[in-house]
A = this chain, B = another copy of it.
């Protein structure tokens, strides 16, 4: 029996990727890089290369169940954990942990987002394997920390203690800092003590269940009640009820920032959260004018540094543009500066106010 499990979180709506990412078809289901695979498919395949498929689970909203089954060939329906409502990541992790705990108390597990880019898959596999082997033996909560390449203000930072190595490559953590202002981010980078929080966690199931018990007992107790119900017919009904009682809270805030046994593995494997159009632009293949084009019939004239993401067969002419995003879908067209990426949330809020949820 293999005691290594993966929980891929695929319930987000990728709101900064609007209008490509839509609430009925969010970012993780999109072939956003034009590779022929969605981000979810890439994430799944990345794990399936070294973890048995029966041990890989997708945790997502009920509404995406069919999308997941369509995209992940050979995935069994019982490997999907359907959340009846959005409650951020803490209930999601608690659900997965308790369910696995009920079936295999010796389990160790990875929790990973479904919508990130990882270029160096072999390095990734090595780091994850190192972390799993470590938590098989140690009751610590491991997070993977990405060695930062620039003072990004959109990420969380982890300060680690370079001289406190718990094991080979596993370090003690000093602080977590969410989305720092630019000046602070620059200081972080200069110090060399900070890593990006990629939201990839590794732990054994007992440690995470204990952590919930200690730091978010309210949620722990809710899910602990299901011990005999998980993996039976009653699970769906139990989860419906349980989720409706859960607070909306992130695993970072609820557990990682509070637990004393958090460790970090600094790593570099060509990671991007592909959180915004600009980050997609930076991670895309670009032509000689530095345009990142996704679309088969795009013609550019005197145009540079643009991201053009349009339907495959639509003829798109872009002339005399520099540094713009052009994102076209059947019912929505967005044209903005790539640097305006942070204003997408303002736009979608305005759209929701004016037209309701139809375009979101």
Contacts and interface: CB of A to CB of B under 8 A. Distances in A.
Interface residues of A, number: 31
A314 B333 CA distance: 7
A182 interface: no
Nearest to A347: B317
A319 B332 contact: no
Given A320-B340, A336-B319, A313 B301 contact: no
A315 interface: yes
A299 B354 contact: yes
A355 B319 contact: no
A334 interface: yes
17 contacts: A19-B315, A301-B347, A314-B333, A315-B333, A315-B351, A316-B333, A316-B334, A317-B332, A317-B333, A317-B335, A317-B351, A318-B335, A318-B336, A319-B337, A328-B328, A333-B333, A335-B335
Interface of A: 19, 297, 299, 301, 310, 313-321, 326, 328, 331-337, 340, 343, 347, 350-351, 354-355, 359
Given A315-B359, A320-B340, 20 more contacts: A19-B315, A297-B355, A299-B351, A310-B333, A314-B333, A316-B333, A316-B334, A317-B332, A317-B335, A317-B347, A317-B351, A318-B335, A319-B334, A319-B336, A319-B340, A321-B335, A326-B333, A326-B335, A328-B328, A328-B333
